[in-house]
């Protein structure tokens, strides 16, 4: 995993997309949970976060659309289960 460096002056569209994706407390919570390196399924996260699977799936889709997470087949859980992984180890945001 690499670092995403966002600069307000260079890529305004990407900058806006990332800020919109991170503009939800729920989505920030998802990013925090999956940053531990473990394999997290949407149902596992829904249980921990005390929310519905459908709602959480929509939130993950927004993060995926912004390029912040990917869904991968788990190597440890089995049965072709998809897990959510962060795309970047760090996100650096420079406003000015």
Q: What is the pLDDT of residues 21-53, one digit of tens each?
A: 999 999 999 999 999 888 899 999 999 999 999
**38: which residues sit within 8 A by CB, 6+ positions away?**
none
- pTM comes to 0.84
**32: which residues sit within 8 A by CB, 6+ positions away?**
none
Domains of the chain: 2-91 (1.10.10.10)
* C-alpha triplet 28, 49, 68: angle, nearest 5°: 30
Percentage of the chain with pLDDT > 70? 96
Produce one character per residue of 36-68: b if its CB has 16 or more CB atoms within 10 Å, e if not.
eeebbbbebbbeeeeeeeeebeebbebbeebeb
* C-alpha triplet 58, 61, 66: angle, nearest 5°: 135
Residue 56 contacts residue 30 (beta carbons within 8 Å): yes
């Amino acid at each position: 995993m690499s670092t995403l460096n966002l600069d307000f002056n260079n890529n305004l569209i990407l900058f806006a997309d990332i800020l919109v994706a991170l503009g939800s407390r729920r989505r920030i919570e998802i990013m925090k949970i999956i940053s531990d390196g473990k394999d997290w399924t949407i149902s596992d996260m829904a249980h921990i976060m005390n929310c519905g699977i459908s709602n959480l799936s929509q939130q993950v889709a927004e993060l995926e659309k912004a390029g912040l997470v990917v869904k991968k087949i788990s190597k440890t859980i089995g049965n072709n289960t998809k897990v959510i992984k962060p795309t970047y180890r760090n996100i650096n945001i420079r406003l000015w």
